[in-house]
């Protein structure tokens, strides 16, 4: 198991992670540190615990918004896909009807001969 040194709000932390995830964890830590830094700029140094909770809530709020947006995109894609399917089915049904009419016409012509 790998270990990564991260820094949040000027404090160093050693975090364990799966091998190969070090870069990803470091990136997440930088993002969290940016959020904490924004909060420090707005409310000052109010304590690590409060800052971490507030930063966690900000990140969770962002995640919530992204989940809602993703669901909307998925729903729109599903509606568009269904519309394409419905349109294709309508076109195929019309073509089948046309072919059936031609077959009936040919069968009628053969029956009279």
pLDDT of residue 31: 97
Task: Please report, in angstroms and rounded to a whole number, the separation of the first and last CA atoms in the chain.
Answer: 85
Segment 4-48, tens digit of pLDDT: 999 999 999 999 999 999 999 999 999 999 999 999 999 999 999
Give the global pTM: 0.69
**Span 46-59, mean pLDDT?**
94
Compute the distance between CA of residue 3 and CA of residue 14 in angstroms, rounded to an integer: 6
- Tracing tokens 């964890």 back to the chain, one arrives at 25
**Span 68-81, mean pLDDT?**
96
- Annotation: CATH topology of 2-112: Double Stranded RNA Binding Domain (3.30.160)
CB 4 within 8 A of CB 14: yes
Compute the distance between CA of residue 93 and CA of residue 88 in angstroms, rounded to an integer: 8
């Amino acid at each position: 198991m790998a270990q990564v040194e991260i820094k949040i709000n000027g404090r160093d932390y050693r975090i364990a992670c799966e091998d190969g995830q070090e870069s990803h964890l470091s990136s997440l830590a930088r993002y969290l540190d940016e959020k904490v830094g924004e909060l420090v700029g707005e409310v000052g140094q109010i304590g690590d615990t409060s800052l971490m909770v507030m930063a966690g809530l900000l990140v969770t709020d962002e995640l919530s918004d992204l989940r809602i947006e993703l669901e909307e995109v998925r729903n729109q894609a599903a509606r568009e896909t269904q519309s394409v399917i419905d349109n294709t089915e309508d076109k195929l049904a019309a073509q089948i009807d046309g072919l059936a009419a031609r077959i009936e016409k040919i069968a009628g012509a053969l029956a009279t001969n």
